[in-house]
Structure formats: structure tokens, C-alpha cells
């Protein structure tokens, strides 16, 4: 290695360290305080440790004075506190206690610590025979304190099934210790996992901890075919009825049309799921596990499906008065097969004296948006919901949603269904809500060249104007590291490019005519700088204009960045994309060959090249193809076209042309601009 290369490596490594020093804000909570006008915010932050190849986790506290006035003062703790070996922390509803989880590794027990304001109140060690590590991911993670702060429900890995033991004489009944040199253990039954980051993890299962006794019990009545997550307690009622838990359940048959496989879930919101209710295991004597029912059994020992009428339900949240159960649904993704699609928001009016034998009605609050108009609400695209998303009026919830190439914060009135964007409309920053402080919102904003910084949102009513939201930048200790990185990127700018659809067809849906976007991060003299094109997986996902350390580091080296969102991202082409996915999945599922079909004015077909042998899925929406179901098509001579006549009694496959019944008109040759691949 020559001297120039060596110096370049040294310079770039120092530059990379500047970017890794900037901590990430993972989550935040606003704790209740007896002093009026003062609230306490707790932040969980993380920072890469390059030498140890791990992530450091810290906690920081901030006292917010004058929270209900126009003058606020943020007083920070002088230093962050490192949380070594901590997997996750969750404060209690009152803010007087804190749960600290330390997941065991390599067969070690999981440690659950209950900390009050002065000391560790209790430490419980849970062995592998009860359960494995707690889930801390975005799907199965769920830790919930009950309102009395006596019980904690959580999701952890179910204990592994006993492995068969063998000796010189063959199979041996009973278990054997690992120190027994006269026996050996087999692999046992194979258990399918959820793949990707969940590989070799145990089945997500529900457990409840009694803090006073330190006893942990598994929830009963949940079938082993159900993976559970996102548990919450049902608020206690004045009638003193039984205490219930609500959780999300994914059945093993989770693929499109109930495919009997766990097809993966990390990047897939199109896995069918439902909300279930079950009684607390500490409220009744132990009974044998019973299978999951679909709301038809009156047994209190079986999980009760609350959302059997809808194909997807997740992120359950109870209103502050316990009268409304809100949840998101990805039913459009489930029904169409698209990995991600427009979400909808639903509610259940919860009865204070509800029993397992009562079925509750599901009401839609925010519907699916298929073809949004330019500048209007695009629909919900949410990857999470705050544990407490409610403003003080009890009917307005705050959540974060993708909005074209940015993330924004929305307020939703769950009684009227009114959706309002509360972050600035002229901003290319991405925003994310962290916690609610009464009627105010603690949030974080960032851009590709500006690391995350904390914002405090409040509602103001200027004289002679309507009520609106204003966002104050919070001066925090995190600002020092952020400003150093910001200075390295001071000669860069961010632009969200609007790329119009060239010569749009009159038959395109309104959503299909909208311009698609790309985020362009440019240097001062961008015309002489090389450009890195950043592509995301898809098309059923989106890149937003938030801060990413790796991309910012490339920009600091002098590269332009072009972060592309394809034409077929969900918010840009929802109707035809999801229609195409739904139709092709439905009939490719039932037929063993490539198929072509009609669906709502679309022709969905699969073409196989005679030259390359590569199949392609295509669709056409030309109006001349929508007139009659008996219209004929001919394909190009370079393609084999296999089809099924779905409305003809013969139901025979054909090649090179479609014929739907008797042909009363001439065959139509599809033009090159008729088909989209």
C-alpha cells in the first residue's frame, strides 16, 4: 500500500468515526409528575461501538418546565447512563417503576429487574425451562404493565421441545443431563421459524409476571399453531369483572390463501393476523391448553378472536377511558398479496362488562386510500404506533406515517375520522413522534444531511388565524455531535425531485398519473461530482428523507446521492398495483400454469419468452380491452402466452391467443404501449 492510499484510509476512518459518534434516539417516554407544569422525559439512545462490534445503549432524562405555557425550559441530566447488557426498558404507567430486561445468552436465564426511584425492588431470574429471551423486534415485541402495576405481560420465546435421549440400548425414556456421558440427544422434531432475523428463535408466546411473588405463568388456551405479539392489558372496569389481555396472533397458515408455511414477516405486512382476547393466567386455576377459537366458544380458557370479520389487525391500543380499542389493519396487503399497501384504522367499542361469549363489532375509522389526489391525504403507511398515542381530550391520537418521500406526523380524531397533518407541509425533513406530553408532542426530525434533532410541538392560535401546530427545536446534549456532522455536510443540499409520467394514457388511474419522486442529495458543484444511486427493495416499500449514517458518510466524501422511489411504490400506484397483485396471486394459486385473466378492466397475463425462456407478468388497462369479455387477443410471435378461460365451461388452456367464448369481433393485437411489465 502506497503512502497516498494509506493516508486516504486514515482520513476516511477518522471521518467515519465522526458519523458513528452521533447517537440515535430509539424511543422516549413522558413520565407523570405530581408537580403542575413540570414533566419528565426519558430517552433511550444508542451508539455503535465499532471496536466491540456491538451497540451501546444509554438512557437520558430531561425535565420539561412550563409544559402548558408558551415558555418552556428543558433541563437535561448532565451525563447519559450506559445500560450494559440491557435488551429493553419499559417504564410503568405512573412512571414510578421501571422494568429492565436482560435477555440471557447461550442457555442463561433471562433477568427481569423492577426498579423504583431509589433502588432495585426485585430481580427475577426466569430459566430456559419457562421461556427463552424476550422479543424486542417491531412485530412480536410486546411488554405491558397493568394499571395497578402489579402484573407485567410480555412476549418471549417458548421453551424448546425436549429432545429424544438415546443410549447403547436404544431410545431412553425421560430426560438426561448434558454431563451424562452414556447418553446422547437427538435433534427432535423440526420446528419452522419465521425466517430472516427470526431464524432459530422459539415460537413467540405470551407470559405474565406477578411482581409481588416473582412468579411467571404462561397464558393458557393459546394453540401452538399461533405466534403472538403486541400484548396490551384491557383497562379495568368499575364492575370488577375478569381481567383480560388483548394480543395479535399470526397462524401458521399465514401465506396468501392460507399457505401452510411461515413465509417470513420482517418486511411483510401482508401476513394475515387477528386480535385475540384471553383471561389473565393469574385470575383462574391452571387448566389444560385449549385450541384457539374464532369467537364461537364460551370457554374463558380459550383465546377469543375479536376481529374474525377482517383479514388483518395489529397494533392494538385502548383509549384512556378504556371505551375504545383502536388498531391498524393491512387488509389491503393481505387481500392483494402486495408486501406493503395502504393501511386502514379501525375501532371496537369496548364494553365494560364484556365476556368471552360476546362478539364485538368492528368499525372503520380511516379507510383505505386507493387513488389519492395530488396534495391530499395519501392514506396510512405506519410501521409502529406509540404505546400511549392519545392527546388529553381522549379522542385524538398521534401517529407517524409515510407521506410520499417523507415521514409526517398525523393527528386523527377517532370519533369523526378526521385526519390532519400537523408537521410543516413545506419541509423536506422526515418527522417521527416519540411521546405525548398532555396536548403537546415530543418528536424527532432529520434529513439525509441533517442528523436527528428533538422537536417539541404545541398548538397555538395566532391573532386572527386558525389554530395550528408550531414546532420548537429543543437544545439537547446530543446537539454537539450532531453539529459536527452537520458542518461536514454544510455544502450539500437536499431536493425531492418530482418526475412526471411521460405521456400518461387517458386510461391510467388518477394515482398512476401522479409524478413519482427521487431524493437528490447534491454537493456544491454537483455537475462535477460522481453520483451514487441508492435503490430500495420493492416495489412495495419506500425510501424516506430521513438521516442514514451510511448515506451521509458517502455524501461527505463528495458523492451526490440519488435515492429513488419507483413509480410503483404503494402511495403512487395503489389501485393498479394492488389489483394486479390480487388477481395474479389468486389465479396463479389455483392454476399450475402461467395464467391470463380479466379483473375489473385489467387483463393480467404471464408471458414466456421463446428466446430467453424468462416469464414476465404483464397487465393492460386499455379501454378497448374492457368492452367485452369475448374479445380475442393475439400475442407476438416471440412469446408463448398461456391462459385460462375462467368464464367458459371448457376451461381449457390455449397458446398464443385468448378466446373468451364465441368471438363476434376481430382479434386485437396488443400494442407495445398497452402492456406494463
pLDDT of residue 600: 36
Distances (CA, A) of 83 to 17, 42, 89, 102: 22, 13, 9, 10
pLDDT in tens, 322-338: 999 999 999 988 888 88
Best CA proximity match to 202, nearest among 105, 131, 303, 129: 131
Distances (CA, A) of 668 to 358, 602, 630, 631: 56, 15, 11, 8
Question: If you average pLDDT over residues 230-251, what whole number do you get?
Answer: 86
Q: What are residue 329's DSSP bridge partners?
A: 344
Is the pLDDT at 494 greater than 50, yes or no? yes
272-299 exposure pattern, b = at least 16 Cβ within 10 A, e = fewer = bbbbbbbbbbeeeeeeeebebbebebee
Cell of residue 137, nine digits: 423486534
Distance CA(462)–CA(56), nearest Å, equals: 44
CA 282 to chain centre: 31
Q: Confidence band (pLDDT; 50, 70, 90) for 566?
A: confident
pLDDT of residue 617: 47
Is the pLDDT at 638 greater than 50, yes or no? no
Read off φ and ψ for residue 643, nearest 5 degrees: -145, 170
Contacts of 365 (CB under 8 A, 6+ apart): 326, 344, 345, 346, 347, 412, 414, 417
Neighbour count for residue 447 (Cβ, 10 Å):
22
Is 153 within 8 Å of 208 (Cβ atoms)? yes
Helix crossing, 479-488 with 3-20: angle to 10°? Answer: 140
N-to-C CA span, the chain: 48
Question: If you average pLDDT over residues 423-436, what whole number do you get?
Answer: 94
Cell of residue 103, nine digits: 435477555
Specify the 3-state DSSP secondary structure of 530.
coil
What is the H or E stretch that residue 36 is in? none
Percent of the chain beyond pLDDT 70? 77
Q: What are residue 60's DSSP bridge partners?
A: 43
What is the per-residue DSSP string for 260-271? SS----TT---S
What is the per-residue DSSP string for 314-360? EEEEE-TTSSEEEEEE-HHHHHH--SS--BEEEEEE--TT--TT---
What is the per-residue DSSP string for 134-170? BP-SSSS--EEE-TTSSEEEEEEEPPPPPPPEEETTE
Mean pLDDT is lowest, of 318-327, 406-415, 476-485, 626-635, for: 626-635
pLDDT of residue 106: 76
Range among 69-78, 136-145, 484-493 rated most confident: 136-145
pLDDT of residue 654: 35
pLDDT in tens, 339-388: 888 899 999 999 888 888 788 999 999 999 887 776 788 899 999 999 99
Distance CA(235)–CA(241), nearest Å, equals: 11
Distance CA(677)–CA(670), nearest Å, equals: 13
pLDDT in tens, 13-68: 888 888 888 899 999 999 987 777 789 999 999 999 888 888 999 999 999 987 65
Match 364485538 to its residue by C-alpha cell: 360
Output the CA angle 577-499-336, nearest 5 degrees. 10
Mean pLDDT is lowest, of 136-145, 535-544, 579-588, for: 579-588
Range among 152-161, 167-176, 293-302, 664-673 rated most confident: 152-161
- Pairing assessment for the beta strands 468-473 and 226-233 based on DSSP bridges: unpaired
Burial class (CB in 10 A: 0-12, 13-18, 19+), 134: buried
Cell of residue 664, nine digits: 363476434
Cell of residue 627, nine digits: 368492452
Please count the helices (runs of H) and the strands (runs of E) in the chain. 6, 43
Is the pLDDT at 447 greater than 60, yes or no? yes
Is 250 within 8 Å of 271 (Cβ atoms)? yes
pLDDT of residue 238: 58
Distance CA(370)–CA(581), nearest Å, equals: 14
Distance CA(341)–CA(52), nearest Å, equals: 39
Best CA proximity match to 101, nearest among 88, 116, 119: 88
pLDDT of residue 629: 32
Is the pLDDT at 532 greater than 70, yes or no? yes
Is 600 within 8 Å of 361 (Cβ atoms)? no
Amino acid at each position: 500500500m502506497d503512502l497516498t492510499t494509506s493516508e486516504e484510509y486514515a482520513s476516511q476512518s477518522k471521518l467515519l468515526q465522526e458519523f458513528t459518534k452521533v447517537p440515535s434516539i430509539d424511543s422516549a417516554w413522558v413520565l407523570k409528575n405530581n408537580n403542575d407544569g413540570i414533566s419528565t422525559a426519558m430517552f433511550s439512545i444508542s451508539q455503535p461501538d465499532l471496536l466491540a462490534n456491538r451497540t451501546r445503549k444509554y438512557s437520558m432524562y430531561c425535565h420539561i418546565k412550563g409544559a402548558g405555557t408558551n415558555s418552556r425550559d428543558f433541563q437535561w441530566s448532565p451525563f447519559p447512563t450506559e445500560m450494559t447488557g440491557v435488551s429493553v426498558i419499559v417504564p410503568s404507567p405512573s412512571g414510578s417503576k421501571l422494568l429492565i430486561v436482560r435477555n440471557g445468552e447461550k442457555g442463561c436465564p433471562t433477568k427481569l429487574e423492577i426498579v423504583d426511584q431509589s433502588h432495585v425492588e426485585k430481580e427475577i431470574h426466569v430459566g430456559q425451562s419457562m421461556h427463552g429471551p424476550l422479543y424486542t423486534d417491531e412485530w412480536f415485541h410486546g411488554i405491558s404493565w397493568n394499571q395497578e402495576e402489579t402484573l407485567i405481560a410480555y412476549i418471549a420465546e417458548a421453551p424448546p421441545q425436549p429432545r429424544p435421549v438415546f443410549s447403547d440400548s436404544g431410545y431412553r425414556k425421560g430426560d438426561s443431563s448434558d454431563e451424562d456421558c452414556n447418553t446422547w440427544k437427538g435433534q427432535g422434531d423440526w420446528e419452522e421459524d419465521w425466517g430472516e432475523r427470526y431464524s432459530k428463535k422459539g415460537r413467540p408466546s405470551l407470559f405474565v409476571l406477578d411482581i409481588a411473588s416473582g412468579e411467571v405463568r404462561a397464558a393458557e388456551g393459546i394453540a401452538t399453531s399461533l405466534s403472538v405479539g403486541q400484548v396490551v392489558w384491557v383497562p379495568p372496569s368499575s364492575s370488577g369483572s375478569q381481567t383480560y389481555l388483548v394480543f395479535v396472533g399470526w397462524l401458521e397458515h399465514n401465506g396468501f390463501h392460507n399457505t401452510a408455511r411461515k413465509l417470513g414477516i420482517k418486511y411483510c405486512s401482508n401476513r394475515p393476523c387477528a386480535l385475540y382476547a384471553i383471561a389473565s393466567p393469574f385470575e383462574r386455576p391452571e387448566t389444560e391448553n385449549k385450541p384457539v377459537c374464532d369467537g364461537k366458544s364460551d370457554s374463558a380458557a380459550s383465546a377469543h378472536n375479536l376481529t374474525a370479520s377482517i383479514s388483518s389487525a395489529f397494533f392494538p391500543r385502548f383509549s384512556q377511558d378504556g371505551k375504545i380499542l383502536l388498531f391498524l389493519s393491512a387488509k389491503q396487503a393481505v387481500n392483494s398479496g402486495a408486501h406493503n399497501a395502504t393501511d386502514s384504522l379501525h375501532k371496537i367499542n369496548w364494553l365494560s362488562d364484556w365476556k368471552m361469549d360476546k362478539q364485538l363489532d368492528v368499525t372503520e375509522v380511516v379507510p383505505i386510500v386507493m387513488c389519492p389526489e395530488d396534495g391530499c391525504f395519501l392514506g396510512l403507511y405506519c410501521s409502529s404506533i406509540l404505546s400511549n398515542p392519545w392527546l388529553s381530550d381522549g379522542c385524538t391520537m398521534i401517529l407517524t406515517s409515510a407521506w410520499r418521500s417523507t415521514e409526517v406526523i398525523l393527528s386523527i380524531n377517532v370519533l369523526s375520522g378526521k385526519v390532519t397533518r400537523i408537521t410543516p407541509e413545506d419541509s423536506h425533513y422526515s418527522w417521527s413522534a416519540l411521546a405525548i406530553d398532555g396536548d403537546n408532542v415530543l418528536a424527532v426530525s432529520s434529513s439525509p444531511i441533517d442528523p436527528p434533532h428533538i422537536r417539541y410541538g404545541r398548538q397555538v392560535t395566532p391573532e386572527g388565524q386558525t389554530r395550528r401546530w408550531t414546532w420548537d427545536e429543543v437544545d439537547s446534549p446530543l446537539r454537539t455531535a450532531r453539529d459536527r456532522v452537520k458542518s461536514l455536510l454544510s455544502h450539500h443540499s437536499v431536493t425531492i425531485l418530482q418526475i412526471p409520467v411521460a405521456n400518461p394514457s387517458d386510461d391510467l388511474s388518477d394515482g398512476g398519473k401522479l409524478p413519482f419522486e427521487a431524493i437528490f442529495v447534491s454537493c456544491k458543484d454537483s455537475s462535477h461530482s460522481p453520483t451514487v444511486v441508492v435503490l430500495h427493495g420493492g416495489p412495495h416499500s419506500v425510501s424516506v428523507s430521513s438521516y442514514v449514517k451510511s448515506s451521509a458518510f458517502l455524501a461527505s466524501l463528495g458523492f451526490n446521492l440519488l435515492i429513488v422511489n419507483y413509480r410503483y411504490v404503494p402511495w403512487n400506484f395503489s389501485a393498479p398495483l394492488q389489483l394486479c397483485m390480487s388477481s395474479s396471486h389468486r389465479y396463479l394459486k389455483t392454476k399450475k400454469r402461467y395464467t391470463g385473466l380479466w379483473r375489473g378492466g385489467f387483463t393480467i397475463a404471464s408471458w414466456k419468452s421463446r428466446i430467453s425462456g424468462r416469464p414476465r407478468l404483464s397487465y393492460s388497462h386499455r379501454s378497448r380491452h374492457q368492452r367485452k369479455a369475448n374479445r380475442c387477443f393475439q400475442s407476438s410471435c416471440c412469446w408463448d402466452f398461456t391462459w385460462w378461460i375462467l368464464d367458459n365451461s371448457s376451461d381449457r388452456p390455449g397458446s398464443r391467443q385468448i378466446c373468451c367464448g364465441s368471438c363476434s369481433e376481430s382479434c386485437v393485437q396488443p400494442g407495445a404501449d398497452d402492456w406494463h411489465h
